[in-house]
């Protein structure tokens, strides 16, 4: 998997996360993604993902002041977007789109065929965001999250299967 350098997209700097970002990423995950659910992405798990060569973790913002991040795991031909969030105060400014573009470029460069992602069924913002970026909704899974909240699987093919 490639390990591209920090990229500047217009005024926005996207960089690879370092261990110093783990606390902020875990906090953002708690507030924006895992709210109302058990907190599974705590600092040690995030730190392990940052160190994992099969995972790309990217951020916007200085260490300790991360305003957006994405965490993508690679397995076989697939890339799996496990965590993705933009701080509430920074949404609808194109930051999520820029991060997603970065991750898609990295997945293509790594030879991935497909990107998979899940969202809560009631998360209209995320579903609209991913649909806008060419992700197709597939299976709806009852009680996907902690055995309580329903979810939907989405995917985007980067190249023809096989």
Ligand X SMILES: CC(C)(COP(=O)(O)OP(=O)(O)OC[C@H]1O[C@@H](n2cnc3c(N)ncnc32)[C@H](O)[C@@H]1OP(=O)(O)O)[C@@H](O)C(=O)NCCC(=O)NCCS
Q: How many whole angstroms separate alpha carbon 103 and alpha carbon 99?
A: 6
Choice between 14 and 83, CB closer to ligand X: 83
Choice between 113 and 123, CB closer to ligand X: 123
Choice between 125 and 159, CB closer to ligand X: 125
Helical H segments across the chain, by residue range:
22-32, 43-51, 95-109, 124-132
| Per-residue tokens: 59 | 């951020």
Q: How many whole angstroms separate alpha carbon 22 and alpha carbon 130?
A: 25
Choice between 71 and 106, CB closer to ligand X: 71
Please report how close the Cβ of residue 64 comes to ligand X at its closest, in angstroms: 19
Please report how close the Cβ of residue 86 comes to ligand X at its closest, in angstroms: 4
Q: Degrees (nearest 5) of the Cα angle 5, 58, 6?
A: 20
Residue 122: which residues within 8 A CB-CB, separation 6 or more?
149, 150
Closest CA to 70 of 126, 131, 139, 140: 126
Residues that bind ligand X (CB under 6 A): 32-33, 83-86, 91-97, 119, 123, 125-126, 128-129, 132
Choice between 74 and 84, CB closer to ligand X: 84
Please report how close the Cβ of residue 121 comes to ligand X at its closest, in angstroms: 12
* Closest residue to ligand X: CB criterion: 96
Instruction: State the burial class of residue 133 (Cβ atoms within 10 Å of its Cβ: 0-12, 13-18, 19+).
Output: middle
Please report how close the Cβ of residue 133 comes to ligand X at its closest, in angstroms: 7
């Amino acid at each position: 998997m490639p390990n591209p350098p920090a990229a500047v997209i217009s005024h926005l700097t996207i960089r690879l996360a370092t261990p110093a970002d783990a606390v902020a990423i875990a906090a953002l995950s708690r507030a924006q993604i895992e709210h109302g659910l058990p907190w599974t992405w705590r600092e040690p798990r995030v730190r392990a993902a940052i160190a994992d060569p099969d995972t790309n973790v990217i951020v916007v913002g200085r260490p300790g002041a991360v305003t957006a991040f994405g965490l993508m795991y690679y397995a076989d031909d697939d890339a799996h977007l496990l965590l993705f969030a933009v701080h509430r105060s920074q949404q609808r400014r194109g930051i999520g789109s820029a991060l997603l573009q970065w991750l898609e470029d990295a997945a293509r460069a790594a030879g991935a065929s497909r990107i998979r992602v899940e969202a809560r069924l009631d998360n209209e913002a995320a579903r609209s965001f991913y649909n806008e970026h060419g992700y197709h909704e597939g299976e709806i899974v009852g009680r996907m999250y902690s055995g309580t909240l329903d979810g939907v699987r989405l995917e985007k093919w980067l190249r023809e299967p096989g």
